Structure 1
């Protein structure tokens, strides 16, 4: 596996100044909360999330609009229940993120499970770099911890710098410690390609479009959605395989479910390649419906002449 140099920012004395004291306090409180019993953390997080879901009407409307578009046959009662469960999952995810950063393996490993291990083994046996394809879930951070510590696959996370310099400093280090490899800037194509060609694995979630110039409108649960074409480009340039996986909750903890590698990818047609990626994402989302980021405006950009999905 490759180990390109980390681009994590250095610690400076300025980060000890009064400007950053609220951030230091918040980090300290979050770390202390991780010492609570895990089931109590789940209960607190779920309750907090449901409360936010009741008062944050704009965000609740986004969730329900996404569900109406993606599942037009879903009954109103089921959609309302899923909306509440989604906000509970978001709240619980805050505590789980802290656990992923701070809790010990001894505390977490007994709660971790792997499903579809044969697909991971086949991907590793190929000897090629891997794009670990997933979506944005509230279990994102804890799922990444499972991939590294339970599945035994260290990987490179992708990142964008944070505006808060202290959080930027810590986020790099938390994610690198969690995933076992240096984080890579998503804009640095050369580093990403080098890591893949050297046989490395990169965590990759293309379901929140960042650049319309590198996207096509591909179906996502039957609705045209602006979808990145960068997955195919990275796979081609890095000579990498694409291995889909989904993190999800279990009654006693969490698991990561691996799916078969996407064969004969990329195929050379941007629309078809993006459609195949979206199908793989859909398969994983259906396994963990409440945890998926329905709060994100996935259909904000529309084909010309198409009606708006979200209220202004």
Structure 2
């Protein structure tokens, strides 16, 4: 596990000055009033769409595959909203890392089942596999949840040491520690000891530990078998949540969904298909805020051509 990182003088090397300048600008921007941040973030996202043409094509293709009955005009409108969410995602990263608890509380509310089911599980020393999903509100969602029930975040260390230091420090403002997504044994130990582990089973992580099950209209989406492994070996409860940005700059909802204390664990495919069904329901609560820019269907069964 990773605990609060210590600052190193090596992070001030000239090769990192450009990164520090960007961080400084982000810090300044998130000091602005939230309605201004909202307008800037959405505008930045629309501007980014002009340059991120490859990602825009991937988003369009993902939506075409997942929602074949949606009209082209509807999909294009959703892509534009999605890029607005990309711009806001950058702003929300700064908000998650730099805002005070007081300011966070002003702009958020807990909805759905509320935090009582999670607190009850914690009181029983039952591990919680928190299904976070790759929304573009990911960073601020982790901060909001951690303010209510601190847990352990699963992450991939960043190749840039300054970003890695800052994101770890930022994420641990309201959480206990971080754990590398490859450390399966560490996750199981934490869950068995009654911890909350943030976990995202919705991306395509390659063929190594995946099974092919339906996801929206795609019959054979490569889906991690990690949910089955973690739930089976830890007996943890599975708790989905959706950090949803309200429309028109009105703040955020931390939408807590019902805990699943007895997930189907017959085999990896059964659990993965069940998990995808939950992921779909979560995405449909805020489809414009989901990370459609990721090549979700890049891994294909052997001999089957690419969907991209």
CA positional deviation for 1:125: 1.9
Q: Which residue of 2 aligns with 1:204?
A: 199
Counterpart position of 2:78: 82
Q: By how many angstroms is 1:32 displaced? A: 1.1
1:134-213 to structure 2, matched below 5 A, reads 134-149=132-147, 152-177=148-173, 179-213=174-208
In the alignment, is the contact (CA less than 8 A) between 1:112 and 1:253 conserved in 2? Answer: yes
Partner of 1:259: 257
Report deviation, 1:253. 0.3
> What is the match of residue 281 of structure 2?
283
CA 10–110 in structure 1, closer or farther in 2 if over 3 Å, else same: closer
Distance in 2 separating the partners of 1:211 and 1:64: 21
TM-score by length of 1: 0.92
* Runs of 5+ unmatched residues, structure 2: none
2: distance between equivalents of 1:96 and 1:169?
A: 18
Contact 2:45 2:85 in 1 (8 A): yes
Partner residue of 1:222 out of 217, 221, 225: 217
Q: Name the CA distance, whole Å, in 2 between partners of 1:113 and 1:26.
A: 30
Q: How does 1:29-108 map to 2 (within 5 A)?
A: 29-108=25-104
Q: What is residue 246 of structure 2 aligned with on the other side?
A: 250
CA RMSD of superposed structures (Å): 1.6
Cα drift, residue 254 of structure 1:
0.6
How far 1:307 sits from its partner (Å)?
A: 4.3
Q: Post-superposition shift, 1:214?
A: 1.0
Offset of 1:33 from its aligned partner? Answer: 1.0
Cα pair distance change 1:70/1:243, threshold 3 Å = same
- C-alpha change, 1:72 and 1:165, in structure 2 (3 Å) is same
Instruction: Identify the residue that residue 125 of structure 1 maps to in structure 2.
Output: 120
Q: For structure 1, which runs of at least 5 residues remain unmatched after alignment? A: none
Cα distance, 1:248 vs structure 2: 0.7
Q: Is the 8 A contact 1:236 1:266 kept in 2?
A: no
CA contact (8 A) 1:48 1:88 kept: yes
How far did residue 36 of structure 1 move? Answer: 1.1
Cα pair 2:49 2:56 within 8 Å, conserved: yes
Instruction: Please state how far the C-alpha of 1:28 moved relative to its aligned partner.
Output: 1.4
TM-score (norm 2): 0.93
Give the number of aligned pairs: 302
